[in-house]
């Protein structure tokens, strides 16, 4: 296994495929680097070097109690880019991974960054507050925490339905995709499964978005049931200077899988 050890002793697993300009992928909760396998295989086959880590607590990485917050996730990403000495990198983040990319740029700048892509991403803030009335009420995130604690395995199986829009009328359901989602989710440790909910829902990334000074593409489905577009892409695309927003009509949160051909083509065009 390809791993590195962070400054606090956490072992992080990562995939590193191909050669060429580096594209670094940051996955969502509660998945792993495998969530981006369609994009990585497509882009590696076209002459790029594709790298994706399993976030601490997720996938094949170790499962520490500490560090399940966006500051630490971003610092782990910075350690990976420094270890591999990545320059002129394109950072692609989905969901929580989009928050990780935002906090990485906010904390570490864009010296190693060429471009950024946020897909179904959490910035600027998911939680409903007086200053963010379009956000999601805290009770919804409390229900997620309760589901993780009550029966994690059943909870992941149920979550796969809205994640991929499989609960919509006429949806073509892939049981294979649902099983892959469940498998990746069950590989996440209990601490990350639980604590990451607070990280992705309550972290305000508004100031981080102001530090973006590289070309940025924002992709989001307007039927995203996990990260609703009104409190995310519609706001983040305005906060990031010069960002390009592309809305996928009727697309779910897991569109990197359900609409992989379209997403792959979009990424390649933007990277080129």
Choose, from 26, 32, 61, 95, the residue flagged as catalytic: 95
Measured N-to-C along each axis, helices 175-187 and 138-163 cross at an angle, to the nearest 10 degrees, of: 140
Q: Is 45 a catalytic site residue?
A: no
The burial of 184, by beta-carbon neighbours within 10 Å (0-12 exposed, 13-18 middle, 19 or more buried), is given as buried
Query: What b/e readout covers 86-125, taking b as 16+ CB neighbours within 10 angstroms?
Result: beebbbbbbbbbbbbbbbbbbebebebbbbbbbbbbbbbb
Cα 120 to the chain's mean position, in Å? 8
Q: What are phi and psi of 155, to 5 degrees?
A: -60, -45
175 Cβ contact partners less than 8 Å away, ≥ 6 residues apart: none
CB 221 within 8 A of CB 255: yes
Q: Is 220 a catalytic site residue?
A: no
Task: Please confirm whether the linkage preceding 56 is cis (ω < 30° from 0).
Answer: no
Choose, from 54, 75, 76, 224, the residue flagged as catalytic: 224
The CA-atom distances, in angstroms, between 209 and each of 6, 50, 217 are 25, 24, 13
Q: Is 27 a catalytic site residue?
A: no
Choose, from 91, 108, 220, 253, the residue flagged as catalytic: 253
The residue among 254, 233, 242, 240 whose CA lies nearest residue 126 is 233
The residue among 12, 3, 4, 56 whose CA lies nearest residue 30 is 56
Active site residues: 95, 224, 253
């Amino acid at each position: 296994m390809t791993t590195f050890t962070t400054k606090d002793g956490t072992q992080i697993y990562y995939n590193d495929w191909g050669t060429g300009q580096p594209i670094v992928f940051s996955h969502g909760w509660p998945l792993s680097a495998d969530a981006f396998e369609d994009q990585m295989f497509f882009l590696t086959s076209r002459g790029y070097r594709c790298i994706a880590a399993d976030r601490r607590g997720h996938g094949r990485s170790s499962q520490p109690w500490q560090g399940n917050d966006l500051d630490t996730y971003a610092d782990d990403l910075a350690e990976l880019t420094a270890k591999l000495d990545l320059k002129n990198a394109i950072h692609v983040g989905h969901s929580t991974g989009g928050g990780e990319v935002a906090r990485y740029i906010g904390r570490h700048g864009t010296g190693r960054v060429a471009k950024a892509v946020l897909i179904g991403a959490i910035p600027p803030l998911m939680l409903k507050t007086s200053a963010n009335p379009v956000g999601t009420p805290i009770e919804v995130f409390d229900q997620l925490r309760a589901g993780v604690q009550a029966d994690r395995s059943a909870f992941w199986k149920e979550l796969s339905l809205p994640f991929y829009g499989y609960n919509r009328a006429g949806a073509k359901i892939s049981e294979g995709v649902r099983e892959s989602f469940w498998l990746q989710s069950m590989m996440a440790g209990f601490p990350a499964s639980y604590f990451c909910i607070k990280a992705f829902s309550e972290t305000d990334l508004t100031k981080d978005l102001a530090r973006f000074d590289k070309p940025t593409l924002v992709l989001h489905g307007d039927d995203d049931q996990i990260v609703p577009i009104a409190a995310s892409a519609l706001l983040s695309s305005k906060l990031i200077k010069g960002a390009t927003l592309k809305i996928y009509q009727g697309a779910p949160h897991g569109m990197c899988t359900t609409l992989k051909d379209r997403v792959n083509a979009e990424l390649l065009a933007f990277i080129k």
